[in-house]
Amino acid sequence: QQQVKQSPQSLIVQKGGISIINCAYENTAFDYFPWYQQFPGKGPALLIAIRPDVSEKKEGRFTISFNKSAKQFSLHIMDSQPGDSATYFCAASRSSGNTPLVFGKGTRLSVIA
Amino acid sequence: ETGVTQSPTHLIKTRGQQVTLRCSSQSGHNTVSWYQQALGQGPQFIFQYYREEENGRGNFPPRFSGLQFPNYSSELNVNALELDDSALYLCASSLAGALSYNEQFFGPGTRLTVL
């Protein structure tokens, strides 16, 4: 019930293309879904997050799509750039109180010119 | 506003030893969570401290323990180190409150190698 499943494990995208990473969760009590970006040797950096009262959230080139009935959410990176090459983690938790984040296993994105 | 800082950056220990890792929270944050990230995996929750008390614990044995200080900084202690404890240890700070939405901000981590 605590799992968050993330796919694909790795992704190669041409510069200017769209990167899409998918996640699925099991615990219906989860209502906070952040995405983190991690570069080698660094800690995860909060990229964008969504709560289930909306189906989509966009910040610049990054968009989260959320499907509550399917218990799935995805990250879209538009106009992908080589600087976006990193490992991306989806996570889920309850938004109220201090609750731990449950992370997916990560997607290693490589954007090639 | 300062971000989350952790020390040391890297650490090498031998099996059976003890280690202490340190974390300074982001300014204004009152909650610290510790995560273990094995190579190629997502972070796994160890425990959380709020108002100097442990406020939740993941599936980690008691030899993993922690402290939070009045200035909201924190320590993670691991006793009787095992080879499988080799990982990146991440500290995340957050602000508990009605409007915080559980936003957690991570430090750069401490890379622990157990030989």
Contacts B48 to A, Cβ<8 Å = 98, 100
Q: pLDDT of B13-25, one tens digit each?
A: 999 999 999 999 9
pLDDT band, residue A96 (cuts 50/70/90): confident
Tell me: the pLDDT tens digits for B37-92?
999 999 999 999 998 999 899 999 999 999 999 988 999 999 999 999 999 999 99
Has residue A1 got a pLDDT over 60? no
Task: Find the residue in B nearest to A39 (Cα).
Answer: B108
A60 to chain B nearest CA, in Å? 19
Burial (Cβ within 10 Å: 0-12, 13-18, ≥19) of residue A14: exposed
Is the predicted pLDDT of residue B100 greater than 70, yes or no?
A: no
Q: A48 in contact with B at a CB cutoff of 8 Å?
A: no
Residue linked to tokens 């984040």? A101
Whether residues B102 and A105 touch (CB distance < 8 A) is answered with no
Q: Which residues of B touch A (CB under 8 A)?
A: 4, 6, 31, 33, 35, 40-45, 48, 50, 55-56, 58, 90, 92, 94, 96, 101-109
Q: Sign of dihedral through CA atoms B67, B105, A96, B71?
A: positive
pLDDT exceeds 70 at position A101: yes
Model confidence pLDDT, tens digit, residues A15-67: 999 999 999 999 999 999 999 999 998 999 999 999 888 999 999 999 999 99
Interface size, chain A vs chain B, as Cβ–Cβ contacts under 8 Å? 72
Beta bridge partners of B88: B37, B111
Residue with tokens 């095992």: B82
Reported as type and span, the H/E element at residue A6 is strand A4-7
B105–chain A nearest CA distance, Å: 7
The verdict on a CB contact (< 8 Å) between B42 and A94 is no
Q: How many CB atoms lie within 10 A of CB B34?
A: 26
Of A24, A21, A2, A25, the closest CA to residue A99 belongs to: A2
pLDDT at A98: 73
Q: Which of A4, A100, A104 sits opposite B45 (nearest CB)?
A: A100
Contacts of A105 in chain B (CB under 8 A): 40-42
**What are the strands of the beta sheet with A19-25, ordered from one edge?**
A4-7, A19-25, A72-77, A62-67, A56-59
pLDDT at B80: 98
User: Cβ–Cβ of A42/B50 closer than 8 Å?
Assistant: no
The pLDDT of residue B1 is above 60: no
Is B109 within 8 Å of A101 when comparing Cβ atoms? no
- Report percent pLDDT > 90 for chain B: 79
Q: Give the pLDDT band (50/70/90) at residue B98.
A: low
